[in-house]
Amino acid sequence: MVLRVASDHKRQVLDITTDVEAHLNGQGLANVFLKHTTAALTVADLDPGTDQDYLQALETMTPARSWRHPHDPPHFPDHLWSAVLGVSLTLPYKSGKLQLGSWQRLVLIELDGPREREIEVSVIKCD
């Protein structure tokens, strides 16, 4: 199943937990794979303001330098952050709900929006 998620800003953290759960039933493992190199998937705490903290921390950790990325050098950090954070997760689910911790949410981190992103969701049922 392909899930499409649209961002509104250049950099944005989007909670996709319920979007993925809408396609789950029973129990098993859900693999979510993002088909892009300038966005990422992770599990994160989304207390108010933490979305901006994540984005600011990424920018702060990346040195200002002349990147060699051929078509748009200043845009290279978007690719770097995607590679470091990752584009795929496998998460257990039960009764159609991801088995996340109390404060955990499945998030897409948009690094070069606004765009529509495609996420491939595959499941292994364990009923």
Residue whose tokens read 């129990």:
27
pLDDT of residue 64: 84
Question: pLDDT category, 72, cuts 50, 70, 90?
Answer: confident
Helix 76-85 to helix 50-61 angle, to the nearest 10 degrees? Answer: 110
Taking alpha carbons only, the member of 85, 105, 117 closest to residue 4 is: 117
pLDDT at position 66: 85
With 90 as the cut, is the pLDDT of residue 113 above it?
yes
pTM comes to 0.93
Kindly report whether the peptide bond that precedes residue 114 is cis, defined as omega within 30 degrees of 0.
Answer: yes
For 2-125, the fitting CATH number among 3.40.50.720, 1.10.260.40, 2.60.120.460, 3.40.50.970 is: 2.60.120.460
Instruction: Give the domain ranges of the chain.
Output: 2-125
